[in-house]
Amino acid sequence: MFTLGVLASGRGSNFQSIIDSINSGFLKAKIAVLITDNPEAYAIERAKNHNIEAFIIRPKEFPDKDSYYSHIADVLKSRGVKLVVLAGFMRVVGRPLINEFQNKIMNIHPALLPSFPGLHGQKQAVDYGVKISGCTVHFVNEGVDTGPIIIQAAVPAHEDDTEDSLSERILKQEHKIFPLAIKLFSEGKITVVGRKVIIKEHREDTVITNPPLIKS
Ligand code: GRF
């Protein structure tokens, strides 16, 4: 069975969407472990509800960033993890983990990268006044939201949107494209060439608009 390790810092709705995709049979995988940096993360409850082993691993318990991420890499390796999923993990991942899982770490970002990387992507989009926003699943490299893009979904951004209303619209798409990206990866359909991601099959799924933005 294809084995996932999930890192999350908070609410964990993306974590839940992956659990649900496995339970529905859409995704043939198992989640071996949840790792969180936040003892208050609701993701821990979700792990408990689904009998997923959960670890709270806090950076302050380690002398430096490298030893923190070496330890996380060791935990993931010891569980046989083949893909690391960052589901709202609110930290810039350190080199020891990136080196160990080269192009095997996926993140979901609530904006159409390369626009609005970093924190509060939805607020950045609202403040900028864009007409289209969305979300991006990408591989993680050493930058902030700069790795190769796997799947994006677009949603309209309305003139009267607030950060919350746009976030809600984007989140619905996050819950679709993240499990889809993981499924494609688990089926060996994703190849990375330089900074481009080549997806075998499912081409029509790799750019998603909701609703279709231009009517013909
Ligand atoms: C999502 O908006 C995701 O795009 C971002 O952090 C948020 C996590 O939400 N990286 P949740 O914890 O999955 O509900």
Block residue for tokens 């997806």: 199
What is the reported pLDDT for 90? 96
Nearest CA to ligand 1 atom 9: 88
Encode pLDDT of 129-138 as tens digits.
Answer: 999 999 999 9
Nearest CA to ligand 1 atom 6: 88
* Higher-confidence position of 212 and 166: 166
Does pTM top 0.85 for this prediction? yes
CA of 28 to the centre of ligand 1 (A): 23
Q: Which residues are catalytic?
A: 109
Nearest CA to ligand 1 atom 7: 88
Nearest-angstrom CA–CA distance, 168 and 96: 34
Ligand 1: nearest atom to the Cα of 89 = 10
87 lines ligand 1 (CB under 6 A): yes
Encode pLDDT of 95-148 as tens digits.
Answer: 999 999 999 999 999 999 999 999 999 999 999 999 999 999 999 999 999 999
Average pLDDT over every residue of 58-68: 98
One-letter amino acid for residue 25 of the chain: G
CA of 215 to the centre of ligand 1 (A): 30
3-state secondary structure of 53: strand
Nearest CA among 11, 15, 1, 17 for reference residue 176: 17
What is the reported pLDDT for 200? 85
Q: How far is CA 48 from CA 22, 42, 134, in A?
A: 16, 10, 31
Structural element, H or E, at residue 17: helix 13-23
Whether 215 shows a pLDDT value over 60: the answer reads no
Task: State the sign of the Cα–Cα–Cα–Cα dihedral 131, 136, 141, 142.
Answer: positive
Residues above pLDDT 70, as percent of the chain: 93
